[in-house]
Amino acid sequence: MDFQPFIRDIVDFPKPGVVFKDITPLLQNHKMLLKACDQLLDMVQDQKVDKVVGVDSRGFIFAPLMASRLQAGFVPVRKKGKLPFSTLKASYELEYGQDILEIHTDAIAKGEKVLVHDDVLATGGTAKAVCELVEKLGGEVVQCNFLIHLTYLRGDEKLNGHQIRSLLQY
């Protein structure tokens, strides 16, 4: 399936020099939304998944859908100060700045198999921080899966050999 026509470039967002990959046209088309979810699930294949971690904020779109279909729990990883319970924190670098992510300390049990999902893999800072949080809680990252991988930013190099899958590469 060709998802590329449903991704639009927004130049100089959120700051000059950045070309933002906007997935909202894909989300607005119910058939493409379902096909993207199906193909994201196909990338997981037959791996056992106990939890699907969705990354704030666009990772929250597909991660719960995949968790439901995988009969797994959904875990949100949020930006600092957004989760109400005790959290574990990780700071990270992203393409246009620095931030802190948090996960609930009881979100993942030791030995659980975890699928990490976000909309875009860019510089890899966000995904690396999420994997570190999962592993600090005792989870095993079985795959990092994305709608889009910006290969020219080489973010995959920060993911320490974790399996990476994406529907689109730029």
Q: What are phi and psi of 111, to 5 degrees?
A: 90, -10
* Domain assignment present for 142: yes
Residue 46 vs residues 2, 23, 43, 70, 100: alpha-carbon distances, Å: 24, 27, 9, 10, 33
Q: What is the DSSP letter of 80?
A: T
Q: What is the CATH number of the domain that holds 120?
A: 3.40.50.2020
* Domain assignment present for 29: no
Average of per-residue pLDDT across 25-29: 98
Instruction: Give the active site residue among 69, 78, 95, 165.
Output: 95
* Domain assignment present for 65: yes
**Cα torsion through 85, 75, 158, 142, rounded to 10:** 140
* Domain assignment present for 124: yes
What is the number of domains present in the chain? 1
CA distance linking residue 7 with residue 103, whole number of Å: 29
The burial of 125, by beta-carbon neighbours within 10 Å (0-12 exposed, 13-18 middle, 19 or more buried), is given as: buried
* Domain assignment present for 78: yes
CA distance linking residue 141 with residue 124, whole number of Å: 15
73-119 pLDDT tens trace: 999 999 999 999 999 999 998 666 689 999 999 999 999 999 999 99
Active site residue 58: yes
Beta-bridged to residue 121, according to DSSP, are 149
* Domain assignment present for 10: no
Instruction: Give the active site residue among 58, 78, 112, 165.
Output: 58
Beta-bridged to residue 55, according to DSSP, are 77
122-160 pLDDT tens trace: 999 999 999 999 999 999 999 999 999 999 999 999 998
* Domain assignment present for 94: yes
Active site residue 165: no
User: Residue 78: which domain range?
Assistant: 46-169
Alpha-carbon torsion 79, 80, 83, 89, what sign?
A: positive
